[in-house]
Structure 1
Amino acid sequence: MSTTGATSNLKQADVCQDCLPEPEASRKPEPDQNATPELRSQGQVSAKQEEDVEDPSTFKPLDLGIGPAITIEYCDRCRWAPRASWTATELFLTFPSPAITSITLTPAVEHSGRFRVWLKLPSESEARLMWDRKIEGGFPELKVLKQRIRNVVQPNQSLGHSDKPGTAVVPSS
């Protein structure tokens, strides 16, 4: 199956345009070999060269402090990295950017048996503890964890079939 055929069933907004193969006619010429940082700072490089996604010298670091971030702290000795990774994937699928801008997996080396989920909002100085395995008596049921995070990040969002009846706040018309 070709890449084009695989993406034809998806809506246009669901497909990353940078991941689709470019037709030969629309490919960019090779980047200017003289596009050094010095030339860019002197304004001697065109805007097209400034935005070249294939030239690593034009890459800019991400600003990770722009929105809510989650940290999943897990016990590495207990081999809970796959569970932490699965939890992170589920949260990213439920809360795409900008609702959640980053999820960090952090092994808790000095604390055995730890599995915690933290939520850090840019407007708050301290992260909020959303789940602690030892306090809650087990790992988070994703439905419950998603509801807790939703209630802080996007209180009006419905979680669909994962939502308890009456938990989503319906915006008034």
Structure 2
Amino acid sequence: MTPALPHVQITYCTMCQWLLRAGWMAQELLSTFGTELGAVTLVPTTGGVFRITVDDEVVWDRKTDGGFPDAAELKRRVRDRIDPDRDLGHADRTTSPGADA
């Protein structure tokens, strides 16, 4: 029996109108990780919540992490939970091209 694939859940505030942001982040994750994810679920709520979990483990919370992640940061945090050895290419670079490392 193969193990279950990771489940990403994006909980977003409907009153804050963060559906498009949540949908865009879901699309970014699905484009990057494809069949390595079992599901990406959008969960509407209220109260200013924007939280992303992988298998019920919080990888980003707007209130504790301060705002919203950019796509590269979110991909790194999800990768670190599902496949830490995976190279994300440009998303793993911390310096700009041509900068001294």
TM score, norm. by length of structure 1: 0.51
Q: Match of 2:32?
A: 94
In structure 1, the gaps of 5 or more residues are 1-64, 121-126, 166-173
SS of residue paired to 1:103: strand
- Residue type of the alignment partner of 1:142: A
Which is higher, the Rg of structure 1 or of structure 2?
1
Q: Match of 1:25?
A: none
**Once the two structures are superposed, what CA deviation does each residue of 1:79-104 show, in whole Å capped at 9, x if it has no partner?**
1000000000000011111x111000
* Structure with more of its chain in helix, by fraction: 2
Deviation at 1:108, TM superposition (A): 1.3
| CA distance in 2 between partners of 1:139 and 1:155 (Å) | 22
Matches within 5 A, 1:65-76: 66-76=4-14
- Residue type of the alignment partner of 1:88: A
**Once the two structures are superposed, what CA deviation does each residue of 1:95-142 show, in whole Å capped at 9, x if it has no partner?**
111x11100000113xx111000101xxxxxx1000000111101111
Tell me if the contact between 2:54 and 2:81 (Cα under 8 Å) persists in the aligned partners.
no
**Once the two structures are superposed, what CA deviation does each residue of 1:27-82 show, in whole Å capped at 9, x if it has no partner?**
xxxxxxxxxxxxxxxxxxxxxxxxxxxxxxxxxxxxxx831000000000111000
* Structure with more of its chain in strand, by fraction: 2
Deviation at 1:164, TM superposition (A): 3.0
Aligned match for 1:163, one of 59, 68, 92: 92
Higher relative contact order (CA 8 A, sep 6+): 2
In structure 2, the gaps of 5 or more residues are 95-101
- Residue type of the alignment partner of 2:89: G
| CA distance in 2 between partners of 1:100 and 1:138 (Å) | 25
Aligned match for 1:83, one of 12, 15, 21: 21
Between the aligned residues of both structures, percent identity stands at 40
- Residue type of the alignment partner of 2:86: Q
Runs of 4+ off more than 4 Å:
none
| CA distance in 1 between partners of 2:77 and 2:18 (Å) | 22
Deviation at 1:156, TM superposition (A): 1.7
